[in-house]
Amino acid sequence: MTFTRTVVSSGLLEVGVETAGTEDGWPVLLLHGFPYGPDSFEAVAAELADAGARVLAPWSRGFGPTRFTSEVTPRSGQQAAIGRDVLDLVDALHLQAPILVGFDWGGRAACVAAALRPDLVGGVVALGGCSVQNIAAFRDPAPPLQESRDW
C-alpha cells in the first residue's frame, strides 16, 4: 500500500497526513501510538480503502512532518492536547462523523476527542489501552496488589 501525503493546517499544527482511498469515501482517521507512525496502518489502510473508506492517517504532534505553527507554542503530550489535535483535524478536513481508530496514544487521542465532542465522531476503535485517564484519581496509589495488576 502506498499512501499519498498531504499537509493540513489544523489548529496549532501543520499536520502531515497520509491518505488512501477515494475523496468521497466514508472517513476513517487512523491514529498511531508512540513511537510509531502511520506506516503501522499500511495493511489495514489498504483493506479500508478497498472497502470504500477515505483513509487519513495523520502524523501525531512531535512525529514525522507534523510541526507546530509557532515556536512559542508550549509542547505538550497531555491527553487534552492530543484529543484537541484530532478535533482540529476533523474540523480542518471538514469530515462528517469520521471513525477514529487508534492504538496506544492514538487510542487515547480518539477516546478524548470522542468524549469532548461526541457529536463530531461516528465511532471509536481504541486498541491497547490508553483510554481517557482520570489524572486526579491517580494522586493516591491503589493498594499494592491492584497496582501490580494494572501493570
pLDDT tens-place string over residues 115-138:
999 999 999 999 876 578 777 777
User: What pLDDT digit, counting tens, does each position of 45-86 carry?
Assistant: 999 999 999 999 999 999 999 999 999 998 988 999 999 999
Tell me which CATH code domain 4-150 carries: 3.40.50.1820
Residue 142's pLDDT band, with cuts at 50, 70 and 90, is confident
State the average pLDDT over residues 111-117. 95
Report the C-alpha gap between 114 and 139 in whole angstroms. Answer: 25
State the average pLDDT over residues 96-104. 97
Candidates 64, 7, 9; CA nearest to 32 is: 64
Candidates 92, 78, 104; CA nearest to 15 is: 92
Polymer length of the chain: 151
User: What pLDDT digit, counting tens, does each position of 17-40 carry?
Assistant: 999 999 999 999 999 999 999 999
* More confident of the two residues 134 and 144: 144
Instruction: With beta carbons less than 8 A apart as the criterion, state whether 71 and 44 touch.
Output: no
Q: Please tell me the predicted confidence (pLDDT) of residue 130.
A: 56
Report the C-alpha gap between 16 and 122 in whole angstroms. Answer: 22
Q: Report the mean per-residue pLDDT for the chain.
A: 93
